[in-house]
Structure 1
Amino acid sequence: MSVLAHGVGSRTDLPLPLGLALYGAGAAILVSFAVLLLLWRRPRLGGAHSGHPLPPRVQRAAASAPLRRGLQALALAVAVVVLLVALAGPAETDRNLAPWALYVTAWVGLVPASLLLGPVWRVLNPLRLLSRALRPLTGPPRGAARLPALGLWPAAVSLLVFVWLELVFPGRAEPVTVGVFLLAYAVVHLAAAAWFGEDWFARGDGFEAWSTLLARLSVVARRDDGVVVARSPLSNAMATPDERGLAAVVVVLLGSTGFDGLSRTVWWQTGAGAAGDTLSGTLGLAACTAVVAVLYLLGTRLSGRLGRLPLGPQPRLYAASVVPIAVGYTVAHYCSLLLLDGQTTWILASDPFGTGADLFGTAANVVDLRAVGPDLIAWVQVGAVVLGHVVGVVLAHEKALRVAPRAPASDQLPLVLVMVAFTLAGLGLLFGF
């Protein structure tokens, strides 16, 4: 499963000294913050009501219930095939479609799809279709009134379970493991939707919540009045609701990618993680997530205290500014996985059950490792991390101007320093420092 879970180039792929990359990245964030202090002195980004409406044809398609149900039915059919292949297909991981479809195409591919097209998983989610089909049997949702109070905490737990499976569980590559996970995931979320209603998926399904957050950095958005618009990704991100649990979602994503990098270092493989067992991996994932949480809470609390904000809401007030950082880490860690190992999904899809079929004419293909070079991958990795943090600084600055317009700009410094720390640690772990 190391190929599936750790599709990142090594430190030797970096076409410039690591020290230069670290100093340059930290300087880029501090310089961008200084420029913001000088030139960005009042809120400049549009809010939830901004944007240019897309053509009527797009509006009709976005509002079409039959189209959405058709897409969900198609996604359900694909999911059923993947489940059957996981349980009855070839036993070898390198010949079974299911692990590659879940860990590479679905999980990693969700990032570019959502960044380009908006919250695609909300549209495609087959569990929504099953939930509606089961509603006559389950009756009205009795816990719907309690759902808003949960915020996005259920999604954070859902994501934590998945990344634990992806990065820690020793048998994660086994097709049967994938099949059991898909079944268990569907049962748990369908049961929760039966109690809380279909809105559960927006708050409890980790895949849908992550796709929706990613879409906040897309140029496509839906305003509060339901109109689909095109607007700046920065304005789109600023329209992210400050929900409970939002900070927990981004902390889980940052912590898991941090552990992904840590688990590939010589220090981990010859030391704390040498046993390669579930306990050491679980403790490592928990520790990385806890460190990210403590640093983020410390940065937001100090910034809020300096700005004389109420004690409670700081973490979720600034959580939207951490979303681009999480996206940057995700792109950096998994871009090569999607571009190189992602080819395996389409090769195996031509003969999913190993019967000798060639449905799409790709069964005899092999992965083209020359599709993208190591230098390009390394530059994308560094660029994604740095750009994600710079965008995060911009969003945090804009947010501070909105919630504490009279506070001195230096109040933002604790959060900016935390972002610098994330940058240096992220690049160091990314390239095996």
Structure 2
Amino acid sequence: MTVLAHGVGSRTDLPLPLGLALYGAGAAILVSFTVLLLFWRRPRLGDAASGHPLPAWVQRAADSAPLRRGLQAVALAVAVLVLAVALAGPDDTADNLAPWVLYVTFWVGLVPVSLLLGPVWRVLNPLRLLARGLRVLTGPPRGADRLPALGLWPAAGSLLAFVWLELVYPGRSEPVAVAVFLAAHAVVHLAAAAWFGEGWFARGDGFEVYSAVLGRLSVVGRRDDGVVVVRSPLTNAMAGPDSPGLAAVVVVLLGSTGFDGLSRTAWWQTGPGAAGDTASGTVGLVACTALVAVLYLLGTRLSGRLGRLPLGPQPRLYAASVVPIAVGYTVAHYFSLLALDGQTTWILASDPFGTGADLFGTAADVVDLRAVSPDVIAWVQVGAVVLGHVVGVLLAHEKALRVAPRAPASDQLPLVLVMVLFTVAGLGLLFGF
């Protein structure tokens, strides 16, 4: 098989006219902004204290320590199995379960699960269980008081390390590479948790923070008193804290998906990325991430200056408005991968060690490429990008009304223009243009 930029698998191209998608998307953003200026003149979304409480048994289950530990134990058993398969399973990537579990079922599957249920990896993370057990040996965390000052910056670095492996490292699909990553990830974060305490995972574990960022657009959330509630995803997005480093996390997600699209273009494959080496890929990933960061900082700083806001907090204040954009890009880039190549995980799970077993009766199955049509994939991809940007504009407008209620709405134009640029560029790269 051919191993492409997602670690394993491939992506279906869009069967839609490029011009139609680009002009339609840009127009949707500008029209939505105009409508907001005319009809959304005061904050309308709920706050962290809003929401409809779920039944008491749901609350008890969500807060049950034994249930969480049981789920973490199951996740740990699966992780150990994947590590064992990576080390002792088939040598060929196409037949080894581990790369498919890491890059497709886990990394991509975390998106729909978190969008539906909220920050699920915070509940399932097996490293939390291990850290709790190791505390007997390591003693109380000595650096717990320093953890709040870190914000989410460590998670941004953790995510950047993973997307580098997924998108840049030439041997990323080799089972041994998966094994090394899983072991290194566990060691690094367990060591950090021993120093900073279990709270480290909510700030430093890229996967847990990624799930939490996605979960900001779930209908399930928590009020500021800890009660589990159902509320609008827009309210959830605004109710989350504007933590330092949140903007960096979102920038990494946008920059990595941008590089993923860029790496598929003919210009990249015949030019800077022709050698397919680590150096060119690393430069490309860093450059895409830096470009997104510069554009985002420029848009938020200009909007903040026009609105006469203090110089410091603009990137952090508006980070929540970029979350839907990052989610839209993520869905657009990974939808077909999960729908089509995600089937491979369940096929290989019947015979994880290549011994001829057929545990679930799926060992002889083949991937059904007709499960999702190219047209459906196309509309989901374009729709995800456009909807993500429209929601982003709405959230940015809501945030501006909250932090600068007397400022003219036109002060938001720099950030809106940056969002339009992200839309056009994102769809262009999605087309491989």
Structure 1 match to 2:303: 303
- Superposed CA offset, 1:221-246 (max 9, x none): 01121110000000000012111100
1:4 deviates by: 4.1
> Match of 2:198, SS?
coil
What residue identity is the alignment partner of 2:237? A
Structure 2 match to 1:264: 264
> Match of 2:229, SS?
strand
- Aligned residue runs from structure 1 range 228-239, under 5 A: 228-239=228-239
Q: Retained in 1: the 8 A contact 2:351–2:363?
A: yes
> Match of 1:221, SS?
strand
Normalising by structure 1, report the TM-score: 0.98
Structure 2 match to 1:7: 10
Write out the 4+ residue segments of structure 1 that deviate beyond 3 Å after TM superposition: 3-7
1:338 deviates by: 0.2
What residue identity is the alignment partner of 1:215? G
What percent of counterpart residues are identical? 84
Which runs of 5 or more residues in structure 2 are unaligned? none
Cα RMSD of the aligned pairs, angstroms, is: 0.8
Q: Retained in 1: the 8 A contact 2:104–2:338?
A: yes
Distance of 2:6 and 2:209 partners within structure 1: 23
1:114 deviates by: 0.2
Structure 1 match to 2:22: 22
Structure 2 match to 1:403: 403
Q: Retained in 2: the 8 A contact 1:4–1:100?
A: no
Q: Retained in 1: the 8 A contact 2:142–2:196?
A: yes
Q: Retained in 2: the 8 A contact 1:351–1:358?
A: yes
> Match of 1:243, SS?
coil
Structure 1 match to 2:246: 246
What residue identity is the alignment partner of 1:134? L
Structure 2 match to 1:157: 157
> Match of 2:398, SS?
helix
- Are residue 353 (structure 1) and residue 328 (structure 2) matched? no
What residue identity is the alignment partner of 1:58? V
- Superposed CA offset, 1:367-397 (max 9, x none): 0000001111011000000000000000000
Distance of 2:11 and 2:222 partners within structure 1: 34
Q: Retained in 2: the 8 A contact 1:9–1:431?
A: no
Normalising by structure 2, report the TM-score: 0.98
Q: How many residues align?
A: 430
- Superposed CA offset, 1:176-215 (max 9, x none): 0000000000000000000000000000000000100111
1:14 deviates by: 2.2
Distance of 1:28 and 1:108 partners within structure 2: 27
- Superposed CA offset, 1:255-298 (max 9, x none): 00000000000000000100100000000000000100000000
- Are residue 135 (structure 1) and residue 135 (structure 2) matched? yes
1:118 deviates by: 1.0
Distance of 1:202 and 1:347 partners within structure 2: 33
> Match of 1:237, SS?
helix
Structure 2 match to 1:430: 430
Which runs of 5 or more residues in structure 1 are unaligned? none
- Aligned residue runs from structure 1 range 31-46, under 5 A: 31-46=31-46
Provide closer, same or farther for how the CA distance between residues 86 and 196 of structure 1 changes in structure 2, counting only shifts above 3 A. same
Structure 1 match to 2:95: 95
Distance of 2:428 and 2:104 partners within structure 1: 24
Q: Retained in 1: the 8 A contact 2:5–2:166?
A: no
1:7 deviates by: 3.3
Structure 1 match to 2:324: 324
- Aligned residue runs from structure 1 range 204-215, under 5 A: 204-215=204-215
Distance of 2:379 and 2:52 partners within structure 1: 33
> Match of 1:199, SS?
helix
Distance of 1:14 and 1:419 partners within structure 2: 24
Q: Retained in 2: the 8 A contact 1:14–1:379?
A: no
What residue identity is the alignment partner of 1:251? V
Q: Which moved more, 1:237-246 or 1:297-306?
A: 237-246
